[in-house]
Structure 1
Amino acid sequence: MLENRPYGRRRLLRDAALGAAAVSTTGLGATAASTPAQAAPPAGTTGRRSGAVSFRWWGTSGWRIDIGDRTVLIDPYLSRYDTGLFTGAFHQDTPLTVDTDVIDPLVDRAENIFVTHTHWDHFNDVPYIAGRTGARVFGTLTAYHLGLAYGLPAGKLAPVRGGEVLDFGDYTVEVVDTLHSRNGSWSVAFPGVRVTPPPRPEKISDLPEGDTLAFQLRVAGGPSVFFMGASDLNERNLTGLAPDVAMVASAATTSTADYVPRLMAALDHPKVVVPVHWDNFETGLTNPPRVEPNDRKRLDALIEEVRRVSPRSRVLVPEYHTAYHF
């Protein structure tokens, strides 16, 4: 077992500031360790105080972050259509579909969209949302060229590689070069990059992985939150981030060695760990989130491993649409 690194003064101050964050396992049958994190009213309702910061999970690794009256999206995939992935009959030629009836009520605005990678369950809805809201899209060079293929203006597409620290006034976003999950054959689904604009994508296999990023959002006067969209890492690229909260992708396989111990150590044992990418993302965004038996086992294993190697971290298992304040 990896030893936890000693707590320094900075980490003690950080942990004290986040003392209200908690384990939340509503609908998943786990045991709560403390009081639930504070929830905000649903998006679009009145009464949200100016300057409030809330984080809403949209399934898979998708998030809506409201910072006062400014909205940031990460991997917003809301269409959630059937490809056969969860029934053992996966069809890589499944047509790309955008469910505007689901998206439009949830996405009233967005100024920036951050894309971890360009598989369909992360990128599918991004071009539509960007076109509807006028948001700028940050992602890999592949995301840039796919955005052009969808007709988005080049001025609204911002290619990033990792290492950038982007200043938006009320918040900054640090871009991290990272790795995609490995499948049971130690490979990656739909590998490849796009170095020029392709024809407009028509099926899910037209959206390759295209390299993978993570993002750390730091709110002025608020928390630092790490977002990942796949379950592998280059820990050298995570050193020094030390987020308050980490949105951690559940591992789909055991192909990556010591995934959780390496991740927790590299992130300096975050105060709050939020598992993501464990739900069945081909069903609707209805609570409690649907989790298939094998994915439930992997989620339980992730929680158990976090508690073992980072016992001072609290695990918060999110529900859809619920807004959390850290």
Structure 2
Amino acid sequence: MGQLRRSVLRGALGAGAAGLLIGGAAPLPGARARAVPTRTALGLRWLGVSGWELSFAGRSILFDPYLSRMPYADGGGALDGALPLRLDPAAVERVAEDGLAGAPELILVSHGHFDHIADVPQLLARPGWRDRRIRTLCDTTSRHLLSAMGTPAKRMNDVIPVYGGDHLQFDGYSVEVFRSLHSRQEDYTSFAPGHRDSAPTRPRTLGDLVEGRTLAFQVAVEGGPTVLLTGTSNFAERELTGARPDVAVIGMSGHAAVHGYPDRLLSVLGAPPLLVPGHHDDMVTPLGDSGVFRTASPEAVSALGRAAARQAAPGGCRVLTPRHLEVLDITGEADT
């Protein structure tokens, strides 16, 4: 995968200074035009919040698939851990049936908060996916929470605890696991911190789904680009040193308390050729609503674009603007 690092996406994006590509659901400019052997096609679909689907060769991987989009704030707009979990099974089923490429073979969970893990048990229990093996990678706290939320015992056998430093080989792709950090609120605290050493009683409130250990994942599909997936607006700098993804999916929710974000992140990653913001919508407007895309923060996209421009890397790096449930074509191509 090393030969893909810089030139693989430059042909698709075009050389030049960093900039914004609006309406990123369309194929990337030039991705079909170069007379070079085609590499493995890789699609990236935003599920809202920090959720994504990676699809390739008729297969798919889910990252932080949260579809219920339940109320989360008190009267002042702040996260309220005392609010009840109000899962939306109909919404989850609707997206799983009509909005995804099919049954995933792998689910990646960055941490245990409600907007990352709450719908994973329902997805794992879907009757239509019963005959498909689905592995889940997460930290031990998330594994205990999945058990407490009623994940079928058969599926729990394939819920695999991972740690920063794991690099796992699957059929046709690998997944590298990095220790990461959760975003900080403006008062420097984190929402619902904590760990679980065993399965607790069934979670009832948002705050019952505690963070655990936050992870980031880098997926490298054979013949395609490497994709770094982050679920928060923070990172552990020394853990990512040496990582060189072709595509970085970057959490862009509130990060005022995190020094130098996202500039430090882009610097330690070596200014990836392609950047995609995530976790920058309102988290509550239903995915079926025609106006859900308008809840995505344009300032989050612009802030990432400004950080990309400041990197001044050879060839620059570009920012795509994702749209809910639409596929971004991030196909990689081989060097000639």
Question: TM (normalized to structure 2)?
Answer: 0.81
Measure, in 1, the Cα distance between the counterparts of 2:72 and 2:246: 36
> In the alignment, residue 324 of structure 1 is paired with which amino acid?
L
Instruction: Find the residue that maps to 2:295 and give its secondary structure.
Output: coil
Corresponding residue number in structure 1 for 2:109 = 115
Measure, in 2, the Cα distance between the counterparts of 1:90 and 1:237: 28
Corresponding residue number in structure 1 for 2:284 = 282
> In the alignment, residue 145 of structure 2 is paired with which amino acid?
L
- Is the contact made by 1:287 and 1:319 (CA closer than 8 Å) also made in structure 2? no
Measure, in 2, the Cα distance between the counterparts of 1:208 and 1:89: 17
- Counterpart selection for 1:303 from 302, 305, 322: 305
> In the alignment, residue 69 of structure 1 is paired with which amino acid?
G
Q: 1:130 to 1:304 in 2, by over 3 A?
A: same
Q: How much has 1:105 moved relative to structure 2?
A: 3.2
Instruction: Find the residue that maps to 2:293 and give its secondary structure.
Output: coil
Measure, in 1, the Cα distance between the counterparts of 2:204 and 2:325: 29
Quick check: 85-94 or 96-105, which moved more? Answer: 85-94
Corresponding residue number in structure 2 for 1:185 = 187
> In the alignment, residue 317 of structure 2 is paired with which amino acid?
S
- Is the contact made by 2:27 and 2:328 (CA closer than 8 Å) also made in structure 1? no
- CA shift digits 1:257-304 (9 cap, x unpaired): 112221011111100011111111111224561337xx5434422321
Aligned CA-pair RMSD: 2.7
- Counterpart selection for 1:313 from 314, 317, 333: 317
Measure, in 1, the Cα distance between the counterparts of 2:271 and 2:78: 38
Q: How much has 1:141 moved relative to structure 2?
A: 0.7
- CA shift digits 1:105-126 (9 cap, x unpaired): 3324122110001111111101
> In the alignment, residue 103 of structure 1 is paired with which amino acid?
V
Corresponding residue number in structure 2 for 1:171 = 173
Corresponding residue number in structure 2 for 1:94 = 83
- Counterpart selection for 1:222 from 215, 221, 224: 224
Corresponding residue number in structure 1 for 2:144 = 145
Does 2:328 correspond to 1:324?
yes
> In the alignment, residue 187 of structure 1 is paired with which amino acid?
T
> In the alignment, residue 116 of structure 2 is paired with which amino acid?
H
- Counterpart selection for 2:94 from 94, 97, 105: 105
Gaps of 5+ in 1: 1-9, 27-31, 39-50
Measure, in 1, the Cα distance between the counterparts of 2:252 and 2:74: 16
> In the alignment, residue 66 of structure 1 is paired with which amino acid?
S
Q: How much has 1:17 moved relative to structure 2?
A: 1.8
- Is the contact made by 2:21 and 2:318 (CA closer than 8 Å) also made in structure 1? no
> In the alignment, residue 76 of structure 1 is paired with which amino acid?
P
Q: How much has 1:85 moved relative to structure 2?
A: 5.9
Does 2:135 correspond to 1:136?
yes
> In the alignment, residue 195 of structure 1 is paired with which amino acid?
D
Say how many residue pairs are matched.
299
> In the alignment, residue 111 of structure 2 is paired with which amino acid?
H
Measure, in 2, the Cα distance between the counterparts of 1:197 and 1:214: 23
Q: 1:91 to 1:189 in 2, by over 3 A?
A: closer
> In the alignment, residue 63 of structure 1 is paired with which amino acid?
W
Q: 1:188 to 1:305 in 2, by over 3 A?
A: same
Q: How much has 1:167 moved relative to structure 2?
A: 1.2
> In the alignment, residue 173 of structure 1 is paired with which amino acid?
V
- Is the contact made by 2:178 and 2:240 (CA closer than 8 Å) also made in structure 1? yes
Instruction: Find the residue that maps to 1:259 and give its secondary structure.
Output: coil
Question: TM (normalized to structure 1)?
Answer: 0.84
Corresponding residue number in structure 1 for 2:99 = none
Corresponding residue number in structure 1 for 2:12 = 20
- Is the contact made by 1:130 and 1:137 (CA closer than 8 Å) also made in structure 2? no
Instruction: Find the residue that maps to 2:61 and give its secondary structure.
Output: strand
Corresponding residue number in structure 2 for 1:73 = 62
Measure, in 2, the Cα distance between the counterparts of 1:229 and 1:284: 20
Percent identity reads 36
- Is the contact made by 2:305 and 2:318 (CA closer than 8 Å) also made in structure 1? no
Corresponding residue number in structure 1 for 2:246 = 244
